[in-house]
Chain A
Amino acid sequence: MNELHGIIFAYHCNPLLRELTQHRTTSSIPYGGRYRLIDFMLSNMVNAGISDVGLIVHANYQSLLDHVGSGKDWDLSRKHGGLRILPPFSYARKRREGGTYRGRMDALVGVFTYLERIRQDYVVLASGNMAANLPLNDIFEQHLATGADITAVCSARPHSDPRLANYFIMDPDGTVSDVVVRPSTPCGWESMEVYILSKQRLMDLTEHCAAHNAPSFSQDVLLSMVHRLKIVPYLFNGYVAAPSTVADYFARSMELLDPAVRAELFDPARPIKTKDRSDPSTYYGPNSRSNHSLISDGCIIEGEVENSILFRGVRVDKGARISGCILMQSTHICENAVLSHAITDKNVQVNSGRMLMGHKTYPLAIAKDAIV
């Protein structure tokens, strides 16, 4: 049995992502033509041989449940272990009704009985809101080698709004000496919010935080215990995308048109898996034209597409022109419609002759199921 257990925090619902999180959590936002953000962390874990994964959700998670199902597309539908969805058990009754978790420690307190039953000695805590292809095995090996209490994965490439990120200041000996929580300007190493620690340590910290009504992992564990715990960073050099606003989502998506980015994110040695939809191949019509675009299976393209990302099952009819757009699953662009810098969510239909223009600094997002 693998010694690592995975816990993914998938309860966030970032309001800055507007239309994109209207019907779903941040972790189930479609990304990269055929994936949801959650696919990356799930695949990272499975690719590291992790067989048991807990997915912490709170509200608005129907879309996420639809997507992960029993976990079979990640080989996580198992007799023992496998994927466990963790809604807030008795949490709502004990605390206030509604609302959401106040922080990750609050969430872990909410699923404490689950933590007790973890079969593995070590746990990786990770955000489900991020696209990155992480070598979790290497990170785990470093964790064992350094004898750290907590290994914190950091990014060598700044990828977030600093006001939403945590940073680590390093001692000369390579351990973390200070933690900076959501500063206005970046300082030190940016955290990817992926941590490895022992199950025992996790239980102790969760009990401690429950007793002290301390809900935040960043504030109440990392920051307040930085001098008591040996926190060692792991520097990850690869591509990271953790979209925080619609414009940021748009920019991070368009980076995928760069072959170097795709090579890092879709490393064939660690494939990113997603829900299987049994689509046929994409059909290109006789007078279609498609350039510099990432296009998924199951599309029918008879118009013109450039600098765009098309998800599965998109239709672009004759005479339609798509430029700099992200068209999510089953979008239908009718004849002669013109779209530029738009994001259409699932099942959007844009009728013939419509013109929709956004800008890369303010892409036009059209909510799920809308008919324009």
Chain B
Amino acid sequence: MKKKCVAMLLAGGQGSRLRALTAHVAKPAVPFGGKYRIIDFPLSNCVNSGIDTVGVLTQYQPLELNSYIGNGQPWDLDRSDGGVHILPPYIKEGDSGTWYKGTANAIYQNMSFIQRYDPDYVLILSGDHIYKMDYEKMLRYHRQTNADCTISVLEVPLEDASRFGMMNVNEKDEIYEFEEKPKNPKSNLASMGIYIFTWSKLRKYLMADEANPKSKNDFGHDVIPAMLTAGEKLVAYRFSGYWKDVGTIDSLWDANMDMLSYDNGIRLFDSEWPIYARTPTRPPHFMGEHASVSHSLVTGGCEVDGVVENSVLFHSVRVEAGAVVRYSILMPGTVVRAGARVEYTILAENAAIGVGARVGTPPPPQNESEDWGITVVAEGVRVGENAVVPAKAMVTRNVKGGGSK
């Protein structure tokens, strides 16, 4: 059946800057905020915006992501018409098949999927941002301005502009130039990686882009500049509110800490715009006799008997009596044994910290030290009794007790 708008979610990124956290999962499947995975945010935004057809483009470590999305039931995307579809690269007749060469190529390879729904518009999303956004409003803006492409933008401080793709606009917010990570930014409007295209236009440019052997087949690098050169109408859609790229260890840790404050702009408790997730069945969490928990999130199946401050605990985490957890993110199934201390650390799923171990340290008083950073313990890693893991370490193998790594 014809759909007004189909969403395509780019979830193939390796997330190499998250290193140990993405050894076994694609970045969009990284746990976030106690109950969620990163991809829950764009997926829930789609559903809450009335978009019921979503293609999820995967190619890196797809198993976890595929099984997480499953039939889409947690997001009400188990539909007989539309719904969520996993779209891996595949071999076409007459060629040997290729991986997705770039973001634009990923969409190009799935044009037949989009065509099945004969949409008027296509929404392009990425799977590595935390935000709540009504795409329906953005689509309305796209139609009102009669644009060929609408790019969602966020005002950022000029000194940060060199980290983003910047949109230079005229007085009507029409984009006349796109600059990737400019040294001398001309505007403060950063692209959020959210595009709405009029499908007939996008189709034309994707085919032209594919035919161009010099192209990197990337939206920001190739397709958007080509459209600008050709004089198509590209407009900026201004978004204000919480938006965070969680592509690095520091930003992932930061964004998790943001979830602790009620007025963070994401408002996880807001039932008007819920974020859905596939959650395993666990009994309520238990707070023991010695538990002391403050300014923290705790999830089902946890057993907490130690001190937890300013931290995010996912489901089925155990913090034993005498253990201390501060400013840390404990992903599902992690264990912190008695007397251990975990500070400024991300423990990936099922990591176990032995009795009396010390993992991570608070930042030094003059927070300029290059040597300090968030400590990461990778999935399933065991840190032995009384072991010491220093700040900024990225532990991917078991650590023996007693010594330091």
- Chain A residues proximal to chain B, CB less than 8 Å: 32-34, 72, 257, 259, 262, 265-266, 271-274, 276, 278-298, 300, 305, 309-310
22 A-B contact pairs sorted by A residue (CB < 8 Å): A32-B284, A33-B283, A257-B286, A259-B303, A262-B283, A280-B297, A281-B34, A282-B285, A282-B297, A282-B298, A282-B299, A283-B269, A283-B296, A284-B297, A285-B295, A288-B293, A289-B292, A290-B287, A292-B289, A295-B285, A296-B284, A297-B300
Say yes or no for B33: interface residue by CB 8 A criterion. yes
Residues in B with CB closer than 8 Å to A291 are: 287-291
Residues in A with CB closer than 8 Å to B282 are: 271
A310 touches B279 (CB 8 A): no
Q: Give A332 Cβ to nearest chain B Cβ, in Å.
A: 13
Residues in A with CB closer than 8 Å to B285 are: 282, 294-296
B33 touches A280 (CB 8 A): yes
For the complex, give the distance between the alpha carbons of A252 and B195 in Å. 55
A274 touches B281 (CB 8 A): yes
A33 touches B284 (CB 8 A): yes
Residues in A with CB closer than 8 Å to B294 are: 284-288
B269 touches A34 (CB 8 A): no
Q: Give A132 Cβ to nearest chain B Cβ, in Å.
A: 15
Known: A290-B287, A292-B288, A294-B286. A280 touches B35 (CB 8 A): yes
Say yes or no for B388: interface residue by CB 8 A criterion. no
Apart from A34-B283, A294-B284, A310-B284: 15 A-B pairs, beta carbons within 8 A: A259-B286, A259-B303, A262-B286, A266-B283, A276-B74, A280-B297, A282-B285, A282-B297, A283-B296, A284-B296, A288-B293, A289-B292, A291-B288, A291-B291, A298-B269
Which of B262, B286, B287 is packed against the most chain A CB atoms within 10 Å? B287
Say yes or no for B312: interface residue by CB 8 A criterion. yes
For the complex, give the distance between the alpha carbons of A271 and B280 in Å. 10
Residues in A with CB closer than 8 Å to B106 are: none
Say yes or no for B220: interface residue by CB 8 A criterion. no
For the complex, give the distance between the alpha carbons of A286 and B277 in Å. 27
Residues in B with CB closer than 8 Å to A273 are: 281
Q: Give B385 Cβ to nearest chain A Cβ, in Å.
A: 24
Residues in B with CB closer than 8 Å to A305 are: 287
Say yes or no for B393: interface residue by CB 8 A criterion. no
Q: Give B77 Cβ to nearest chain A Cβ, in Å.
A: 13
- Chain B residues proximal to chain A, CB less than 8 Å: 33-35, 73-74, 260, 262, 268-269, 274-277, 279, 281-300, 303, 312-314
Q: Give B303 Cβ to nearest chain A Cβ, in Å.
A: 8
Q: Which residue of A lies closest to B297 (CB)?
A: A281
Q: Give B70 Cβ to nearest chain A Cβ, in Å.
A: 12
For the complex, give the distance between the alpha carbons of A266 and B282 in Å. 8
For the complex, give the distance between the alpha carbons of A226 and B283 in Å. 40
A271 touches B281 (CB 8 A): yes
Q: Which 3 A-B pairs have the closest CB atoms?
A: A281-B34, A33-B284, A280-B268
Residues in A with CB closer than 8 Å to B73 are: 72
Residues in A with CB closer than 8 Å to B288 are: 291-292
For the complex, give the distance between the alpha carbons of A34 and B279 in Å. 14
For the complex, give the distance between the alpha carbons of A32 and B285 in Å. 11
Q: Which residue of A lies closest to B285 (CB)?
A: A295
For the complex, give the distance between the alpha carbons of A315 and B158 in Å. 41
Q: Which residue of B lies closest to A310 (CB)?
A: B284
B284 touches A34 (CB 8 A): yes
Known: A291-B288, A291-B291. A280 touches B269 (CB 8 A): yes
A293 touches B286 (CB 8 A): yes
Q: Which residue of B lies closest to A35 (CB)?
A: B283
For the complex, give the distance between the alpha carbons of A265 and B320 in Å. 22
B295 touches A286 (CB 8 A): yes
CB-contact partner of A272 in B33, B35, B281, under 8 A: B281
A281 touches B284 (CB 8 A): no
B313 touches A281 (CB 8 A): yes
Residues in A with CB closer than 8 Å to B284 are: 32-34, 294-297, 309-310
B35 touches A281 (CB 8 A): yes
Residues in B with CB closer than 8 Å to A276 are: 74, 279
For the complex, give the distance between the alpha carbons of A274 and B260 in Å. 27
For the complex, give the distance between the alpha carbons of A279 and B314 in Å. 13
Q: Give A37 Cβ to nearest chain B Cβ, in Å.
A: 15
CB-contact partner of B287 in A265, A286, A287, A292, under 8 A: A292
B33 touches A281 (CB 8 A): yes
Residues in A with CB closer than 8 Å to B274 are: 278
Residues in A with CB closer than 8 Å to B260 are: 283
Q: Which residue of A lies closest to B260 (CB)?
A: A283
Residues in B with CB closer than 8 Å to A32 are: 283-284
B74 touches A278 (CB 8 A): yes
For the complex, give the distance between the alpha carbons of A34 and B286 in Å. 13
For the complex, give the distance between the alpha carbons of A279 and B300 in Å. 10
Q: Which residue of B lies closest to A290 (CB)?
A: B287
Q: Give B396 Cβ to nearest chain A Cβ, in Å.
A: 27
Residues in B with CB closer than 8 Å to A274 are: 281
For the complex, give the distance between the alpha carbons of A293 and B288 in Å. 7
Q: Give B372 Cβ to nearest chain A Cβ, in Å.
A: 25
Residues in B with CB closer than 8 Å to A279 are: 35
A284 touches B295 (CB 8 A): yes
Q: Which residue of A lies closest to B283 (CB)?
A: A266
Q: Which residue of B lies closest to A271 (CB)?
A: B281
For the complex, give the distance between the alpha carbons of A289 and B269 in Å. 21
Residues in A with CB closer than 8 Å to B300 are: 34, 296-297
Q: Which residue of B lies closest to A315 (CB)?
A: B269
For the complex, give the distance between the alpha carbons of A90 and B371 in Å. 77
A295 touches B287 (CB 8 A): yes
B269 touches A300 (CB 8 A): yes
For the complex, give the distance between the alpha carbons of A290 and B274 in Å. 27
A280 touches B34 (CB 8 A): yes
Q: Give A343 Cβ to nearest chain B Cβ, in Å.
A: 16
Q: Give B294 Cβ to nearest chain A Cβ, in Å.
A: 5
For the complex, give the distance between the alpha carbons of A285 and B295 in Å. 5
Residues in A with CB closer than 8 Å to B281 are: 271-274
Residues in A with CB closer than 8 Å to B269 are: 280, 283, 298, 300
For the complex, give the distance between the alpha carbons of A300 and B269 in Å. 9
For the complex, give the distance between the alpha carbons of A288 and B260 in Å. 14
Q: Which residue of A lies closest to B298 (CB)?
A: A282
For the complex, give the distance between the alpha carbons of A290 and B303 in Å. 12
Residues in B with CB closer than 8 Å to A310 are: 284
